[in-house]
Amino acid sequence: MLKTIEWVGDVNGYLRLLDQTALPCETRFVDCHVPSEVYAAIQRLCVRGAPAIGVAAAYGVLTGLRDLESVDRARMVHQIDSVCNYLAESRPTAVNLFWALDRIRNLSARFPQAAADELRARILDEAREIEEEDRRMCEAMGAYGAELIQPGDGILTHCNTGALATAGEGTALAIIFAAHRQGKQIHVFADETRPLLQGARLTAWELMQRNVPATLICDSMAGWVMREGRVQAVITGADRIAANGDAANKIGTYSLSVLARAHGIPFYIAAPSSTFDLSLETGASIPIEQRASREITEGFGKQTAPSGVETYNPAFDVTPAENITALVTEKGVIQPVTRERISQLLT
C-alpha cells in the first residue's frame, strides 16, 4: 500500500500527502510546506479519515514553525498556539483533529523549561508517536473486530476506513483485512458513498489491492442486498462518538443502521479511543460539516443537476447508540453500547 502521510526531513522538513482526490486513476502526492497548504489539503479531502486528519495536522504544525530556531520560547509558544488554532478550523466534525492538535499544544506546558528549538524537536517526536499509536490502534481494532465475524459472512461497509484513512490498516477495514487473513472466506459489499464516492474510488481500490473478494454497489441498493440475505454484518468507521455512544460518520451511515436494524443484522462501528468525545452527552451536540453544493450538482466536473437548484449537503450524519450493536476500539469491544460501558472501557 502507498504511504498516505509522511513527514520528510527534520524539523525544517515538510509534509507529504497522498492526494486521495486523484485515486483510483492517478497516483499523486501533495507536498505541504506551510500551514495554509496543510489546511487546504485537509479541507479539500486530499487527506481524509478522522485518524489520518489528526496525524496530518500534528505534523502540519511544524510547517508553521520553520526557521524559527533563534526565537525565544514565548514567541514559539505563541506561534504553536496560532498554528494549532488555524488548523483546527479546517474541518469541524472529526474530533481526532482537535485531539491531535491538543497534544501538540500541550507540549509547552509539559516541558515548561524547553527552549524554542527543543519544543520543535518535541513536536516532531510527538507527531511521530501519534502516527505510531494510530498504527497500533488499527492493529488492535482489527484483532478485536475479527472475532465478531463468522466464516462466510457478507459484510457491508460505507465510505473509506482503511489505510487511506489512517496511519495503519484502518478502522472498519482493519477488521475486514484481519478476517480475510484468517481465511474466513468473507465477501465485502462496498457502498459507493455519494456524493464524493469514497467507497467506489477508495474502498474498492483498497480491497482489490489486498485481494479481498468485494462487490461495489450504489448506496440505494443496500437495503435490497440485505433483504436478499447477502449481508450478515455492517461495519463502518466514525468521526466522533459522544459519551452515550451516538456516532457521527459519513452521510448515509444512519440510513444503514436503520436498515440493518430492520433486517436483524448486527451493525458495528470501529473507531479508536481518540474518536470519542466524552465532553458531549449525546450526538445532538456533534457539529455537522456542510459541504459545497457543487459536490452534488457538478460531481467530478460534470454538471448533473439544473443550474441554480437548491441543495443540502451535510457531510455526516449521526447514528443513535440504540442502532449500534457494538463499538470496536483498540481497548476492546463495547457491547452493549451504553454510557456506562463506554466510561468503563475508556476512563
| Catalytic positions | 239
Do 105 and 251 contact (CB within 8 A), yes or no? no
User: How far is it, in rounded angstroms, from Cα 77 to Cα 116?
Assistant: 8
Cβ(266)–Cβ(222) under 8 Å? no
CA–CA distance, 267 with 257 (Å, rounded to integer) = 6
* CA distance readout (Å), 44 to 22, 47, 238, 311, 322: 12, 8, 19, 19, 33
Strand order in the sheet with 276-277: 276-277, 240-242, 247-250, 316-319
Residue with cell 454538471: 303
* DSSP output for 284-315: GGS--PBPPTHHHHSGGG---S-TT-----BS
Helix (H, G, I), strand (E, B) or coil at 249: strand
Q: Pull the grid cell for residue 159.
A: 465510505
| Selection from 255, 257, 261, 282 nearest residue 342 by Cα | 282
